[in-house]
Amino acid sequence: MLLGETLHIVAGPEDEGMRLDKFLSVRVEELTRSAAERLAEQGQVSSGGKTLDKKYRLRAGDAIEVILPEPVGLDILPEAIPLDIRYEDADLLVVNKPKGMVVHPAAGHAGGTLVNALLAHCGDSLSGINGVIRPGIVHRIDKDTSGLLIVAKNDFAHQRLAEQIKEHSFTRMYEAVVHGNLKEDTGTIDAPIGRHPTDRKRMAVTEKNSRHAVTHFEVLARYKGFTHVRLKLETGRTHQIRVHMAYIGHPVAGDPVYGPKKPVPNLDGQCLHARVIGFVHPRTGEYLEITSELPSYFTAFLEKLKKQTFGGMECGLERDSSGE
């Protein structure tokens, strides 16, 4: 969702009878119900040229137009936070985000974010496509997911990179430790993801108001009660890996939202790392692939699992985890 644009949404049979404000909050991922109410009250939601009330009940086939507000200037301050930059040129940079860092300012996280750090590092040299809150941010990873993230320094680079993501030609490979023992060495999870029907903070595999989502997995090593896997995103939905792995009965270890309620000892947050990012450079046309090593929290957990499973002996079951 880009601020300042007009969204065109067609109601389906499953939306029949739904209130307009609820419909918008379900179909527009980043629009809360209260925000949808405000837009309707401001006359920014219409169908066939007629302004709709927030209480309007949808009919199948309704073509809804939503005018989103222009970005509002916010006082987001540059902060001299160290960045682990793995690649940089005049158009873009690839940063290795630490676990625990929020990507952009939001409620409860006004400072200390990746955007605050980027403003200090890049100054005015960040794309403005995603507005003042997320300058340069082409895609996101969760606060407690570590790893590689690409940042656009200008709108030209941002648009070209966004096109690659949309066309599924943008390489994103992760590694994770998940609960249980996957039966297959490789596999594909093809299951649509949408907002959870009762909890807006969560996503879920659902046929209603969802988007196509595909994740490929490969087993790297098996341990007692856990499996080390490599995951490749074909699509990039919110919480996709976490939702898909939980859906097949193997949630990411340490995931406080989609995993078991009982925490994994000595693991603070999910064991999920964005290890490889590959893309065609928007200006040169050259394919670049950047790889980051597994962080210490991840390798320490693997060592613990090895000792618990094999008593410190070499297991001989591990595959190459280099991402190459």
Q: What residues act catalytically?
A: 142
Give the β-pairing of 63-67 and 45-47.
antiparallel
Contact 223, 308 (CB under 8 A): yes
Whose tokens are 């907002």? That residue is 195
- Count how many residues are written for the chain: 324
Q: How far is CA 196 from CA 10, 147, 201, 204, 236, in A?
A: 20, 26, 8, 5, 17
Whose tokens are 């409620």? That residue is 107
Q: How far is CA 79 from CA 92, 94, 130, in A?
A: 19, 18, 20
Which residues are CB-neighbours of 171 under 8 A, at least 6 positions away? 232, 276, 277, 278, 279, 289
Contact 50, 63 (CB under 8 A): no
End-to-end CA distance of the chain: 34
Contact 173, 146 (CB under 8 A): no
Give the β-pairing of 272-280 and 146-152.
parallel
Q: Where are the beta strands (DSSP E) in 191-271?
A: 193-195, 203-205, 210-211, 214-223, 226-233
Measure CA 158 to chain center. Answer: 17
